[in-house]
Amino acid sequence: MTKQDLEFNRNEDQIKLLMAEMRSRLQTISLGGGKKRIEKQHAQGKLTARERVAFLLDKDRPQIEIGAFAGEGMYAEHGGCPAGGVIVVLGYVQSKMVIVVANDATVKAGAWFPITGKKNLRAQEIALENRVPILYLVDSAGVYLPMQDEIFPDKENFGRIFRNNAILSSKGITQISAIMGSCVAGGAYLPIMSDEAMIVDKTGSIFLAGSYLVKAAIGEDIDNETLGGATTHCEISGVTDYKAANDQDALEKIQRIVDKIGAFPKAGFDRAESAMPEKDEKEIYGIMPEDRSKPFRTLDIIERLVDHSEFDQYKEGYGKTILCGYARIDGWAVGIVANNREVIKNKKGEMQFGGVIYSDSADKAARFIANCNQKRIPLVFLQDVSGFMVGSRSEQGGIIKDGAKMVNAMSNSVVPKFTVIMGNSYGAGNYAMCGKAYDPRLIVAWPTAQLAVMGGAQAAKVLLQIEQASLKAKGEIITPEAEKELLDRITKRYTEQTSPYYAASRLWVDAIIDPLETRKWISMGIEMANNQYDIPAYNPGIIQS
């Protein structure tokens, strides 16, 4: 076995270990508030949130979960909030693409933590941008009161959800709600601001104030069922449109309604017959280096993601630290912008470091992005980037100007953008390669990803220098042993923050995925984006200057 084969096997073993860890974490998250609370839900005659979603969606069609890791490692002092207390899945009902939002009542009775609100807003953002119907399966005790100050009043807090309900309806994007448990206080507006709402008899209830609060406020004695149950709202108040006998009945009613939704015009993104890559997808595992600082040939990754392994490069001999070109993924035409991780020699004979954006590669990427917008071709960004090249030569060569062109072209892009963080995602490189701040329709990370303002080693040394200066200013003497301990502590803390799980828990990425699922995510993403038929004209801005 050659040295190259041994390295391939080591890489493969490492990424398989990372994916085993990912699957283990997902298994724990899938239990929500735990087995006892799941059993309690069943004892009430109710399905769990995940069971409801599984029942609702077509079994023979693909689906992707948004934000499964939301809230992981957060709110430990409050008992945690697995998956942010809400399940969000993009899938199909009666062969029509939808996004489903289901409160998980096993997690603090479905109460809303700050991350719950953020995840709901992300689901609505996807529905708005892509004109996808959104289905709410409501079972929530309302705002988690101990943290109300972080979820109630601000622009991107709880109230924004109701504003989005109104905007979605005004744009003709269908919203259907099923009240399958509690629906209390301000949260009561979400299902009723939907286009249609149903309520499950005996287990569903909706009111602005429950019986205890009514008693305290106005002295009226009344039970919750009479106050806001299915009979009250379907036969007296008229608040809800349909009464369901149980969870399954409610979900079947939703399926029948969705089945009758008419088609809208499409954006017209080009799709041919799907084909698998000719090169083995599974070889991605061995190509991605275990050591994230090692160079590798990004083209080898691309050829294992695209149909027929065909990639038509744009300006192949110029700006080689970024690869640009046309391809198809599951039949969809795409323009790919990828950081090339090879160490290469440019035309002047100068060495250029892989994963670093130089002036020529930034200029090339900007012009390619403009071309894709002109041709209405969706863009896929494959990130493994350390940042822009620094130093006097780069500054004098105008790296800031060329970087600004690339950021401008990407920011003003009107075709859908999708981002896959394969490896490093550092600093301004994250921005230029369509990080979360630049509105990718979907953004995912492989288990090999790392996100931060700079690499761990450099950041730890900078932070160490700052800490040392602070201690010296206080007159404290730092021994070599103390310096090492300090560096180790800083490195550990910083490394934890660069983890893809740290990013996913805060919804900086929509998911951490197996690299072999990349094609499915991009294909479903373009299919949903194809619903946005009113794409505006592209203004290239400063890139031609």
Alpha-helical segments (H) within 230-296: 230-231, 247-259, 284-287
Which one, of 161, 168, 170, 178, lies nearest residue 100 by Cα? 178
Q: Which residues pair with 50 in a beta bridge?
A: none
Which three-class secondary structure state does DSSP give residue 105?
Answer: coil
Q: Which residues pair with 196 in a beta bridge?
A: 176
DSSP line for 395-459: HHTTHHHHHHHHHHHHHT--S-EEEEEEEEEEHHHHHHTT-GGG--SEEEE-TT-EEESS-HHHH
Kindly give the confidence (pLDDT) of every residue in the chain, 545 residues in length, as a single tens digit, with 9 standing for 90 and above: 566 789 999 999 999 999 999 999 999 999 999 999 999 999 999 999 999 999 999 999 999 999 999 999 999 999 999 999 999 999 999 999 999 999 999 999 999 999 999 999 999 999 999 999 999 999 998 888 889 888 888 888 888 999 999 999 999 999 999 999 988 876 778 899 999 999 999 999 998 877 777 878 888 888 888 888 999 999 999 999 999 999 999 999 999 999 999 998 999 999 999 999 999 999 999 999 988 889 999 999 999 999 999 999 999 999 999 999 999 999 999 999 999 999 887 777 777 778 899 999 999 999 999 999 999 999 999 999 988 877 677 776 678 888 899 999 999 999 999 999 999 999 889 999 999 999 999 999 999 999 987 666 666 666 667 777 777 777 777 777 777 777 777 777 777 888 999 999 999 999 999 999 999 999 999 999 999 988 888 887 655 54
Q: Which residues pair with 251 in a beta bridge?
A: none
Which one, of 427, 429, 417, 428, lies nearest residue 383 by Cα? 429
- Other C-beta atoms within 10 Å of 75: how many? 19
pTM: 0.93
Q: Which residues have a Cβ under 8 Å from the Cβ of 29 and sit 6 or more positions away?
A: 68, 69, 72, 82, 83
